[in-house]
Chains A and B, each alone.
Chain A
Amino acid sequence: DAKTTQPNSMESNEEEPVHLPCNHSTISGTDYIHWYRQLPSQGPEYVIHGLTSNVNNRMASLAIAEDRKSSTLILHRATLRDAAVYYCILLNYGGSQGNLIFGKGTKLSVKP
């Protein structure tokens, strides 16, 4: 699976937008970009995924660069509950059984 690079940590203020970047310069044409997060003392939780177009759901938005070599997870209004480690993962269903390869992710801190 292709590698992703994320900042180790980021800080945000409550109720402000947060942009979490992810670089994946070796992404292949069939790799999907998935985001998961892990709240303290919990299992990972799916956030969003996309292939080429920007995606929105109730949790977040995913902005994908035109060349697909990077993407940004956008939390529109951070809450204290959004403090977690966010993982950007590339998944190619053709090449694996769908198992997730986690990196170190970005630890997001949210200040009140």
Chain B
Amino acid sequence: EPEVTQTPSHQVTQMGQEVILRCVPISNHLYFYWYRQILGQKVEFLVSFYNNEISEKSEIFDDQFSVERPDGSNFTLKIRSTKLEDSAMYFCASILTRGINQPQHFGDGTRLSIL
């Protein structure tokens, strides 16, 4: 069964540095999402992306965050200047269409640790 893959599985970065988290969604999927989960807390929606532009974003997704689909396969989340509170698991998800019978497929996440 096709999978969403995320790299790296664990990223350690100094505070203030830029970080790029990478995701390869399922190949024929059209909608892409990023979520994050701070340790011990709920999974939180960050942003959705369709047709090469942001569809919706949460309050968390401020100017420090950006997303890009640089080619036909990768979907990236960039954090420009990381803060300690950005430490979390980041999950990428994709969906074929927004139809009611299309579940979101999640990757296993990237653990981001900010030092």
State the main secondary structure of chain A at its contact with B.
loop
The answer to whether A103 and B105 touch across the interface, beta carbons within 8 angstroms, is no
Partner of B48, one of A38, A99, A104: A99
Size bracket, chain A contacts: 20 to 34
The answer to whether A97 and B31 touch across the interface, beta carbons within 8 angstroms, is yes
The stretch from B14-22, B63-71, B76-84, B106-114 touching chain A is B106-114
B29 → chain A closest CB, angstroms: 12
State the main secondary structure of chain B at its contact with A.
strand
The verdict on B93 contacting chain A, using a C-beta distance below 8 Å, is yes
The answer to whether B45 and A101 touch across the interface, beta carbons within 8 angstroms, is yes
Q: Which residues of A contact B44 (CB under 8 A)?
A: 102
The answer to whether A97 and B48 touch across the interface, beta carbons within 8 angstroms, is yes
The answer to whether A44 and B33 touch across the interface, beta carbons within 8 angstroms, is no
The verdict on B104 contacting chain A, using a C-beta distance below 8 Å, is yes
Q: Which residues of B contact A112 (CB under 8 A)?
A: none
Task: Report how far A34 CA is from B93 CA in the complex, Å.
Answer: 16
**A-B contact sample (15 more), CB < 8 A, given A51-B100, A87-B43:** A36-B104, A42-B108, A43-B4, A43-B107, A43-B109, A44-B93, A46-B103, A93-B100, A96-B56, A97-B48, A97-B55, A101-B45, A102-B35, A102-B42, A103-B42
